[in-house]
Homo-oligomer: A and B are copies of this chain.
Amino acid sequence: MGKKNLRISLLGAGTVGSGVWSLLQENADLLYAQTGCRFEVRHVLVRSLDKPRKAPIPTELLTTDAQRAVLDPEVDVVIELLGGLEPARTLIEQALQAGKHVITANKMVMALAGDRLITLASAQKVRLLYEASVAGSLPILTSLQGALAGNRITRVVGIVNSTTNFILRTMEEGLEQGTPAEDSYRIALQKAQELGYAEADPTSDVEGYDAQYKMAILARLAFLQYVPVEAVYREGITHLSGRDMVWAKRLGYGIKLLGTAERLPDGRLNVRVHPTLIPLENPLCVIRGAFSGVWLQGNGFQDMLMHGMAAGARPTASAVVGDLIEVARHPKPLPIPDPSLQPGETAPIESLTFRYFVRAQGTEPALESVRRALGEWGILRLEEDPEAGEFVAFTAPLQEGYFQEQMAKLRAQSGGAIQVIRVLE
């Protein structure tokens, strides 16, 4: 520390890599004032040397030689911004093994192989930081590991995928402007793709994989318990219809793809990602478009919501640079094992209890059988639209496993379309 330079290899010079480069140049004096360090980029790993870039990175820094970028003995920190599982995971592992600090924005690597890499970094006495992997610029991971680490966290609820948040918001706007309900998802997805918020193959976002990775990482740090990705329940937004949003809004709710991690009364942890009805006055409902937000509950601070620009070059670069500052100031890891790697039990979603929003569409005898079944379990609110051959209901709290099984039977028996969305308590 002190007056020396921190020498960096940047793996990737796409949107985020260019953002990191630019922020390091623009704020160089500020970073020096804050750390006493100069941040010096030595290598920038790219796929092609000739491609035009968003930032004016000097060509002599560009390399296509990953081993050179990762293993150069004159490099202190490797910043991995390649995305995807491989070769990112292997390069991170090589960098750690070579005694270099690693900063990554890679949620897939940190969710699927994080436990192994955290252990390796600790054994190598280097830092492995990944604030940019969850909710972009928001200092959520840093706060959970630092300022809020004296709290027993009870619940984490997040809008952690801004692509789906943008799509859902665009669906709402489209419906307000008269888009037919059955087209609203397709049109919103297309708009997200045109604006660069969604990829050509949007599966990772719209099927909830991205949010699943992020919730595995968040839950691990919040609850100090190792959470395998496959223990995170995942449901995307592709089955949502504009009709759901029209009804939700009419009844005072919005629909968001929420990630939730919570400690159950029996001590087990449940982590899940699924579309959720949220009361319009809930601050989570204000989180719109390309923003993300995470609501935390803990036994000290009680309730806290962080909310901000999560995606894009600059916000992600801000998180990476924040991690660089941490490495510059505190290059030694804590001399204690990372408590987030402790084993612990997780509970499947089937054992939880929810209130459900149910939307049934079909012909009358079929609808009546659904209405009757719901009536037996307890309906808190029922709204009919006979012209559309449709009704919606809010159920009393019911156990997920039992309820979904019954709904599957009803779907088979009645032949009607039955949509089920959980409601935020």
* Contacts from A to B (Cβ < 8 Å): 1-2, 23, 26-27, 30-31, 33-36, 131, 136-139, 142-143, 146-152, 224, 281, 283, 286, 291, 298-309, 312, 314-315, 317-319, 321-322, 324-326, 329-330, 334-336, 339
Contact = CB atoms under 8 A, between A and B. Distances in A.
Contacts of A150: 23, 27, 30-31, 34, 318, 321-322, 324-325
- Quick one: which of A2, A30, A304, A306 has the most chain B CB within 10 A? A304
A138 B299 contact: no
Nearest to A19: B300
Nearest to A287: B283
Classify the interface of chain A: helix, strand, loop or mixed.
mixed
B300 A304 contact: no
A137 B325 contact: no
Lowest 7 CB-CB distances: which A-B pairs, in order? A300-B318, A150-B321, A137-B301, A304-B308, A139-B147, A147-B322, A36-B336
Contact of A139 (B148, B291, B315, B318): B148
A2 B325 CA distance: 23
Contact of A147 (B131, B148, B304): B131
Contacts of A336: 2, 33-36
A312 to B, nearest CB: 8
Nearest to A283: B286
B322 A299 contact: no
A300 B317 contact: yes
Contacts of A1: 335
Given A27-B300, A36-B334, A301-B308, 9 more contacts: A1-B335, A23-B299, A27-B152, A35-B336, A143-B143, A146-B326, A283-B307, A302-B314, A330-B330
